[in-house]
Amino acid sequence: MNTEQKLFGSYLGLSVKQRIYHLMKNYHYRDRYVECYRQYIEGMIADIRAYECRPKDDIGVRIMSGDNNSDATARLAEDAVKISNVFITGHIGESLIKDKEDRRVATLAVMEWRAIRDDYAALNRALLMLKPGDHELIMDFLNRKKSYYDIAEEGMLTYSSAKKKLQRIRKKVVKLTERDFERHQKNL
């Protein structure tokens, strides 16, 4: 089993509560996290396609046609569109990746990316349902603008009181997000 097979699917294997805590831990990276993960998967699929489409005796020489474009360049542009569609539909057909195991790993990666994206949306909805003071406090903490020490100092609390306060808010967020997940599962 290679690294990609171990990497992809690990998020989907987590419980709902573990997924929420994972997302909160990485909240300040959320946009880059989702986008970089997508770019990694796109690159992986493109690499698989390039490997599968290359003839066994190909030594990397491209023959240019009269309009300064090669068939390889056109195929790359066509592949880019097909790969983008994978993230919309969530389906990877045999026409895109021939090898069954590579297709399974790529499909799992896309499913995981979609789950992370959707879970972040659910987490954001839950955060918006908090009381304004709690929302501001947890957002500053999740975005790493304030630490436990900063929160304790600002609220004239002890460190342990500030930590407990944030734990209570996180528990609320987890409950709200779990309800959102349950509603989403019923709608599927």
Tens digit of pLDDT for each residue in 100-149? 888 888 889 999 999 899 999 999 999 999 999 999 999 999 999 999 99
Q: Is 60 left (phi over 0), alpha (psi -120 to 50) or beta?
A: left
Whether 137 and 62 map to the same domain: the answer is no
Q: Which of 103, 120, 137 delimits the end of a domain? A: 120
Q: Is the pLDDT of residue 6 over 60?
A: no
Give the pLDDT mean for 150-156: 91
Q: Which residues contact 139 (CB under 8 A, 6 or more apart)?
A: 127
82 and 154 assigned to the same domain: no
Question: Are 39 and 79 in a shared domain?
Answer: yes
Domain end among 102, 120, 138: 120
- Do 109 and 154 share a domain, yes or no? no
* Of 4-13, 50-59, 85-94, 177-186, highest mean pLDDT: 85-94
Instruction: Show the tokens assigned to 64.
Output: 């240019």
Please check whether residues 81 and 155 belong to one and the same domain: no
pLDDT band at 175 (very low <50, low <70, confident <90, very high): very high
Residue found by looking up tokens 């947890």 in the block? 138
Burial, 44: exposed, middle or buried (Cβ in 10 Å; 0-12, 13-18, 19+)?
A: middle
Print the domain residue range for 66. 1-120
Each residue's pLDDT tens digit, 71-112: 666 677 777 778 888 888 888 888 888 888 888 888 899 999
Cα 5 to chain centroid distance, Å, stands at: 16
Say yes or no: 41 and 66 in one domain: yes
**Considering just the CA atoms, what is the radius of gyration of the chain in Å?**
22
Q: Is pLDDT above 50 for 5?
A: no
Question: Rounded to whole angstroms, how far apart are CA atoms 162 and 179?
Answer: 26
Number of domains making up the chain = 2
161 & 181 share domain? yes
- Give the three-class secondary structure for 120: helix
User: Which stretch of DSSP H or E encloses residue 78?
Assistant: helix 71-89
Question: Does 63 lie in the same domain as 44?
Answer: yes
Query: Residues 113, 152: one domain?
Result: no
Task: Of 159, 106, 162, 105, give the one whose Cα is nearest residue 138.
Answer: 162
Are 134 and 182 within one domain?
Answer: yes
| Contact between residue 64 and residue 16 where contact means Cβ atoms under 8 Å apart | no
The partner residues of 70 in beta bridges, in order of sequence, read 64
Domain end call among 85, 120, 155: 120
